Amino acid sequence: MARDFWQPTLIEGRRVRLRRHRKENLPSVLRWYRDAEVARLTRYQTRPMTKDEVERFFEARLISPDSVAYAIHIAATDRLIGLTTFSSLDADNGSALFHITIGERDGWGQGYGTESAELMLAHAFERLGLHRVALSVFSFNERAIRSYQKAGFHIEGRLREAIMRDGRYWDEIQMGALREEWLARAAGAAGNAVDPLSVSSR
């Protein structure tokens, strides 16, 4: 598939727009991944990533031609607040892993992550034709779990006491979404949940 098909320049939502990353996004990504609380919620290691580590991640995962990765912008202001990607794309089995980070703390709890996840699921199932999208989340991150459930993911299992935080062990929750569930949900919502995927090649 041509890159513009599987990674269009822009995916437009109601309150957020997902746009391919630009090199000028790097300073924001560097700042996010050196934030201890972002690391606590999203990474297996809580130590800050080094500048070289973030730069390698940015090049390999966010702006590589082979990546399905987007910068999350608030639609009303175009402010950059986070990032979202698919990894481990498996064409044989029609699956991918979903990742999202809202790096700007004042964007937490505002619904931006939920809508971004909905847009990515719509892209996965309606455009890429994937069968399954999965993710992992730490059990103490209850806000994220609620957001993923609202977007269409279901809890499928857990890795018991897999992560150490705050002096104790926590479970790692496994979640997934299936194409048939997504399509049924979208049809049943009759336009009240996720707007039809709007893609621009600008």
Question: Where residue 199 falls among pLDDT bands split at 50, 70, 90?
Answer: very low
Q: Determine the 3-state secondary structure of 106 from DSSP.
A: helix
Q: Which sequence spans correspond to the domains of the chain?
A: 3-135
Please list, residue by residue across 164-198, b when 16 or more beta carbons sit within 10 angstroms of its beta carbon and e when fewer do: eeeeeebbbbbbbbbbebbeeebeeeeeeebbebe
Give the model confidence (pLDDT) of 73-130 as tens digits. 999 999 999 999 999 999 899 999 999 999 999 999 999 999 999 999 999 999 999 9
Q: What is the pLDDT of residue 188?
A: 81
Percentage of the chain with pLDDT > 70? 92
Residue 71 belongs to what H/E stretch?
Answer: strand 68-74
- Verdict on whether the full-model pTM lies above 0.75: yes
Whether pLDDT at 29 is above 90: yes
44 or 103: which leads in pLDDT:
103
The confidence score (pLDDT) of residue 194 equals 47
Instruction: Please check whether residue 105 is in contact with residue 37, taking contact to mean a CB–CB distance below 8 angstroms.
Output: yes
Residue 9 confidence (pLDDT): 92
* Region 3-135: CATH code: 3.40.630.30
Give the model's pLDDT for residue 1: 52
Q: Read off the pLDDT of residues 177-195 as tens digits, 9 standing for 90 and up.
A: 999 999 998 888 755 544 4
Q: Say if residues 16 and 116 touch (Cβ distance below 8 Å).
A: yes
pLDDT tens digit string along 129-167? 999 999 999 999 999 999 999 999 999 999 999 999 999
Residue 170 pLDDT > 80? yes
Quote the mean pLDDT of the chain.
Answer: 91
pLDDT value for 107: 95
